[in-house]
Each structure stands twice: as structure tokens, then as C-alpha cells.
């Protein structure tokens, strides 16, 4: 059965034929073995509804609690921008006390000390692991669900070596030394001093396709649910509020923080910008990427196709219907150029099977008001607004929540770019590494498409 069947109101999730490398925190239920009695009931129900079509498909009352929690997780992510916007209006509405105690100090701190944090590489110090490990993110990941499949193991960016206490002074903790692309970081954990020596490659992950909101990137890199990095709650009595990564192996051990990149306009809304920074999101500007990678053991993930690609894929076609996934990649070479300039970088293509299928996208005809509006947004604000719909909270026929379509994130093999190639990147070298990246992305797609219901889908790089 193909995995590209969306919006299953009966409470069943689709299953994958491949064994995921990441956790399955909540097992995916299988509907492949039904009794003859159940089948006959299903056929009667189907035939009856062919004669009398229902106007609305309403969510049943007997949905398991686990699925209700998963819906809460996706609701939170969907309404986070309206929530923080409403919070700002509410604080303004409260009057002079709110202005004096909250709004005025916040804006002084923002414009006086924190304005350029999303763009100058300092986002490294704003990541909050307790936010990335909130239990709501486990519900979010299991809603689709999002699962990860690696093509190979990755070379660590750093390694940890226990240090002799006699060789280090107490004031050496959190010391940071950069010499010839090698970082030595001295820390103290559980009264044991250790040295982190970092001379492995940093990584630039490229995610495809963009989709409407890039849910796969959010689940993999903005939260800790799939990476399973070590985390301890602030207090033992608060454990129920957080995901426990100790039950699973780390997905990308000793690679450090991986920052999802987004547009600068995302950091203009008060309080919402701080929320994004705590999850590790930061600006996609070249200066910021260089600062992040040169400042510690950091890597980045960029959704290469951008706003233009988000409008190309209509999504949610009927299963077994031939279609294509359109990518904007041939003209996107900036991230490859950055990798060559920095050196000691591995480029890693990622394809999210199902990312383009979680929403229905309405594509306005050229020249219409909707088409003009989308182009105007893209030209003036560097982003656009796809016209999309999917399902609601209680009604399955329409709404702004995505379908429960599995998103299988397949990570390709790294393409290593050695250091000290050229200070000025020649076009031939740029084209060489870009071609290696495109070829690896195509390999990831072709080798995995039959596993995840994409047998009849063609990958088309349009620009």
C-alpha cells in the first residue's frame, strides 16, 4: 500500500516499509491485516457512502489520547506566530504598567544589545536545550510521523578527551581556542574535566523540497526528538514536561549544534524571535553562516529551494497517480560557494519524502490577483504565501493543520570540501561541487522512492 495516502479519518497511520534509524517513540499502527468481518464492514460502509455522500467528515469521539496529544503538538507549531502576535497586542492593551515593566525594557534590550544576534553568529549562545526537548515536540514529530534514514555514518566534528586535573586550573572552564580550524574547548561536567578537540568537518545540510513550512527540518534540527542529544531536565519533578533522549542512541553523535536557517523577517516579531533563537533558528545570510561555523562546533541546514520552490508542488495528489516533484536547485549555488570558501566542510543533501504532500496547494493562474500578490510578496519581502489547505481540528475536509502523511527524511552521503582550496572560487570548481551535490541528491531520491510510495513520481529540477 502506498504511503502517499493522506488525511485518514479512521485513526490509522500509514506505515513505512523501511526500518527507520531514528526513534519510533510511538509505534506506527499497521492496517495491513484485517479480519474478513472487518473487511466486510468496511466495504458496506464504503458502498453506503458512495450512494449518500457526507457533507462533512467530523473527527470521531473515540480517538486515542496519544493522537489527541499529537494534534496538540501540531496545533502549537501552526499557531505559534498568531500566538506571539496576540501576546504582543495583549501586553500593549494592559496599559502603562505593562509598558513600564515589560515592553520598554524589552525593546531597550532588543535594539540596544540583541538586534543583530540572528545575523552575526551569536545565535550559538541563545539556544536553549530545555525548549528543544519539550514534550510537545515529541507529539509534533509523531503526528505525521517524521522518521529519519541515514545513508551512512557521519565523521564526528569533535571528540572528547578526559583531562588530568593537575594540568588545568579552575578558571580554564569554558575556555575556547581556535587555531587552524581546530577548536579546543575545556569544560567540567560532574566534577570531571574533559577536553573537546574539534578538527573534523562541519556540515552544511541541504533540505529538499521546501514544502509549505518544511516540517521535516523543524522536527529533525529545531528539536531534539530525532537527534537524541544528551539532556537533563532542570529539576527531577519536571521530567514529565520533557522528552527523554536517553532511551535512544544519538542520531548524529559529536557533530554539535545544527542551526536551521531562515529569513531575517522571521526575527522582527517581538518574543517570537526569542522563541526561534531558543530553538536554534537563525538567519540564512552568508555572514551569519560563516560566523556560526567558525565559532565552535556548529553546522547549518538550509532549505535550498526557498520561497520560489514552495509554490511549485501542488501536493496531496491521489495515490498511484503520476506526478513530479519540482526543485529549484540549478541556480542555487551560494551554499556550495560558502562551503568552498570555508573549507573542511561536508555538503549533505537531504530529501523529505512526504514533505510536499502534507498540504493541498492551490496554484493561481498567471496574471490573476493571487499570482500577482504572491510575486509582490516575494519581490518586496523575500518570502511568499502559498494558498494552501488541508484539515481542521475537528473537521477533516478543510483547515490549516497538515495531513497525517508520513515524512521520511533520507540523509545522503557527505561530499567533503577540503580546506584552503581557493580564496576566490573559480566557476569550474563551483560547478564541480554543485554537480556532486545534485548527483547525490538524485541518488537519494531514486534509491528510496519505492520504499515511501513515490514509485510514480519524477524528480524535476526546473531551475
pLDDT tens column, 128-148: 999 999 999 999 999 999 999
* pLDDT-based confidence at residue 382 (cuts at 50, 70, 90): low
Write out pLDDT tens, residues 150-185.
999 999 998 877 766 555 454 444 444 443 344 445
Q: Average model confidence (pLDDT) for the chain?
A: 82
Place of cell 521535516: 216
Percent of residues, the chain, with pLDDT higher than 70: 79
- In angstroms, rounded to a whole number, what is the distance separating the alpha carbons of residues 347 and 414? 5
- In angstroms, rounded to a whole number, what is the distance separating the alpha carbons of residues 307 and 382? 7
The predicted model gives 229-245 an average pLDDT of 93
Closest among 227, 195, 217 to 129, alpha carbons compared: 227
Strands 282-283 and 360-362: unpaired
Closest among 375, 363, 411 to 18, alpha carbons compared: 411
Q: What is the CB neighbour count within 10 angstroms for residue 251?
A: 21
Closest among 251, 218, 222 to 150, alpha carbons compared: 251
**Residue 391 near residue 398 (C-beta atoms within 8 A):** yes
Query: Is a pLDDT exceeding 80 seen at residue 227?
Result: yes
Closest among 405, 409, 407 to 252, alpha carbons compared: 409
Query: Is a pLDDT exceeding 70 seen at residue 239?
Result: yes
First-to-last CA distance in the chain?
Answer: 33
363, 368, 373, 379 alpha-carbon torsion, rounded to 10° = 90
Strand partners, 362: 387
The predicted pLDDT at position 323 comes to: 83
Residue 219, C-alpha cell as written in the block: 522536527
Strand partners, 196: 160, 185
Q: At what angle do helices 334-342 and 286-294 cross, to 10 degrees?
A: 30
* pLDDT-based confidence at residue 94 (cuts at 50, 70, 90): very high
Q: How many helices (H) does the chain have, and how many strands (E)?
A: 13, 16
The predicted pLDDT at position 54 comes to: 59
Lowest mean pLDDT among 37-46, 79-88, 335-344, 378-387: 37-46
The predicted pLDDT at position 42 comes to: 35
- In angstroms, rounded to a whole number, what is the distance separating the alpha carbons of residues 257 and 209? 22
Query: Is a pLDDT exceeding 50 seen at residue 261?
Result: yes
Amino acid at each position: 500500500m502506498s504511503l502517499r495516502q493522506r488525511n485518514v479519518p479512521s485513526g490509522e497511520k500509514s506505515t513505512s516499509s523501511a526500518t527507520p534509524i531514528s526513534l519510533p517513540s510511538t509505534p506506527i499502527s499497521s492496517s495491513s491485516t484485517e479480519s474478513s468481518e472487518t473487511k466486510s464492514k468496511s466495504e458496506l460502509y464504503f458502498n453506503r457512502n458512495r450512494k449518500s455522500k457526507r457533507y462533512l467528515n467530523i473527527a470521531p469521539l473515540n480517538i486515542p489520547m496519544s493522537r489527541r496529544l499529537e494534534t496538540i503538538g501540531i496545533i502549537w507549531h501552526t499557531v505559534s506566530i498568531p500566538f506571539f502576535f496576540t501576546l504582543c497586542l495583549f501586553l500593549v492593551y494592559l496599559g502603562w504598567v505593562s509598558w513600564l515593566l515589560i515592553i520598554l525594557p524589552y525593546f531597550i534590550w532588543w535594539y540596544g544589545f540583541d538586534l543583530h544576534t540572528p545575523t552575526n553568529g551569536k545565535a550559538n549562545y541563545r539556544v536553549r536545550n530545555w525548549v528543544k526537548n519539550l514534550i510537545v515536540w515529541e507529539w509534533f514529530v509523531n503526528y505525521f510521523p517524521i522518521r529519519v534514514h541515514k545513508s551512512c555514518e557521519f565523521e564526528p566534528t569533535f571528540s572528547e578527551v578526559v583531562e588530568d586535573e593537575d594540568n588545568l586550573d579552575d578558571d580554564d572552564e569554558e575556555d575556547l581556542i581556535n587555531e587552524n580550524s581546530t577548536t579546543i574547548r575545556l569544560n567540567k561536567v560532574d566534577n570531571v574535566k574533559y577536553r573537546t578537540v574539534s578538527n573534523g568537518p562541519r556540515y552544511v545540510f541541504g533540505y529538499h523540497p521546501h514544502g509549505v513550512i518544511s516540517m521535516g527540518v523543524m522536527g529533525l534540527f529545531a528539536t531534539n526528538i530525532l537527534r537524541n542529544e544528551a539532556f537533563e531536565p532542570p529539576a527531577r519533578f519536571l521530567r514529565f514536561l520533557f522528552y527523554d533522549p536517553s532511551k535512544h542512541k544519538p542520531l548524529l553523535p559529536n557533530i554539535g549544534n545544527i542551526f536551521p536557517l531562515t529569513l531575517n523577517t522571521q526575527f522582527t516579531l517581538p518574543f517570537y524571535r526569542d522563541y526561534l533563537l531558543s530553538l536554534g533558528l537563525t538567519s540564512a545570510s552568508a555572514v551569519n553562516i560563516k560566523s556560526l561555523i567558525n565559532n565552535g562546533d556548529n553546522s547549518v541546514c538550509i532549505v535550498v529551494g526557498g520561497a520560489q520552490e514552495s509554490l511549485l508542488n501542488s501536493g496531496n495528489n491521489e495515490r498511484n497517480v503520476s506526478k513530479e516533484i519540482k526543485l529549484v536547485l540549478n541556480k542555487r549555488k551560494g551554499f556550495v560557494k560558502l562551503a568552498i570558501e570555508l573549507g573542511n566542510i561536508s555538503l549533505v543533501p537531504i530529501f523529505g519524502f512526504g514533505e510536499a504532500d502534507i498540504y493541498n496547494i492551490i496554484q493561481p493562474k498567471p496574471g490573476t490577483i493571487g499570482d500577482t500578490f504572491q510575486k509582490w510578496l516575494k519581490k518586496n519581502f523575500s518570502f511568499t504565501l502559498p494558498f494552501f489547505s488541508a484539515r481542521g481540528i475537528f473537521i477533516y475536509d478543510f483547515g490549516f493543520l497538515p495531513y497525517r502523511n508520513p515524512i521520511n527524511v533520507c540523509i545522503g552521503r557527505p561530499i567533503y570540501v577540503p580546506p584552503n582550496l581557493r580564496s576566490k572560487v573559480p566557476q569550474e570548481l563551483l560547478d564541480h561541487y554543485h554537480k556532486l551535490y545534485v548527483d547525490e541528491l538524485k541518488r537519494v531520491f531514486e534509491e528510496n522512492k519505492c520504499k515511501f510510495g513515490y514509485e510514480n513520481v519524477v524528480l524535476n529540477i526546473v531551475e
